[in-house]
Amino acid sequence: MLYLVGLGLADETDITVKGLEVVKRAERVYLEAYTSILHVGKEKLEAFYGRPVIIADREMVESSSDEILEGAEKSDIAFLVVGDPFGATTHTDLVLRAQELSIPTKSIPNASILNAVGATGLQLYNFGQTVSIVFFTDSWKPASFYDRIRENASIGLHTLLLLDIKVKEQSLENMARGRKIYEPPRYMTVAQCAQQLLEIEADKQEGICSEDSLAIGCARVGADDQNFACGTLKELCEIDVGPPLHSVVLIGKRAHELERDYIRPFAINQETFDASWHKYHKQS
């Protein structure tokens, strides 16, 4: 059987008991290492599991899945995913490929950013569509996420923004020349996300992501040192919330007073926070 095992968000101890039992008996153990990252390396995982761990990069998962699935009809293969197994469509595709080969599959869920973001104090029922924000380049600044944010904002819902990570990426030149040379890993920060939102807002001018829009910058959610900073997008452009991974929540107008009271201690500037909150709720 192919097992997709959620690892949770922080370190080697976040795996569930059920997931750990699967890992300990599996013939091979793979770690998906490009849609997200843990805060510890594979060596920590190997020491905790007592098993070797094979890193599965994007190329292996998307182009060489037969290597992962080899023998899975006769023995157990564990495919480890940071967060929850179905937090990325790639993992759905892997399951479909296994099913085409008549290989049974089973997933073992765990915490993901989609539910752990409740640690901000914002109610999960008040979240709309989740969107991804990718790194802009000089020639490529995709803005399709703006439509999703607008739809959420139109009914007062919060928007969770998942920020881009670049792991084992090639430059265009190296890719064109067929050279297996990879760029250093990059992880989008809260400040970079806020700057890109304002850049798109300057083009759209619809007031969806304005300078005084309230948002929460989130860092290392689920870890012992998780950090939240609440402020306007203009304030978040200057904030440093520490090492990755980061995400951002745009606060919707439907927010309840209890949510306000919970997130207020995270405010970068409480006077600015109170003023922006009052402005939002006068409009709702």
Instruction: Tell whether 221 is in a known binding site.
Output: yes
Instruction: Tell whether 157 is in a known binding site.
Output: no
Classify residue 27 by its DSSP letter: S
CB-side neighbour CA atoms (13 Å) of 18: 10
Instruction: Tell whether 246 is in a known binding site.
Output: yes
For residue 227, the surrounding DSSP H or E stretch is: strand 227-232
For residue 169, give the 3-state DSSP assignment: coil
Query: 193 with 145: CB under 8 angstroms?
Result: no
Instruction: Tell whether 147 is in a known binding site.
Output: no
Instruction: Tell whether 248 is in a known binding site.
Output: no
Instruction: Tell whether 172 is in a known binding site.
Output: no
For residue 214, the surrounding DSSP H or E stretch is: strand 214-219
Cα separations in angstroms, 36 against 33, 70, 81, 120, 246? 6, 24, 8, 20, 11
Instruction: Tell whether 84 is in a known binding site.
Output: yes
User: Which residues are CB-contacts of 112 (< 8 A; sequence separation ≥ 6)?
Assistant: 6, 9, 83, 84, 87
Instruction: Tell whether 225 is in a known binding site.
Output: no
Strands (E) in 57-145, as ranges, are 77-81, 105-108, 131-133
Place of tokens 């802009």: 136
119 phi/psi in degrees, rounded to 5: -65, -15
For residue 259, the surrounding DSSP H or E stretch is: helix 257-263
In the annotated binding site for S-adenosyl-L-methionine, the residues are 9, 84, 87, 112-113, 163, 221, 246
**Which residue positions form the known binding site?**
9, 84, 87, 112-113, 163, 221, 246
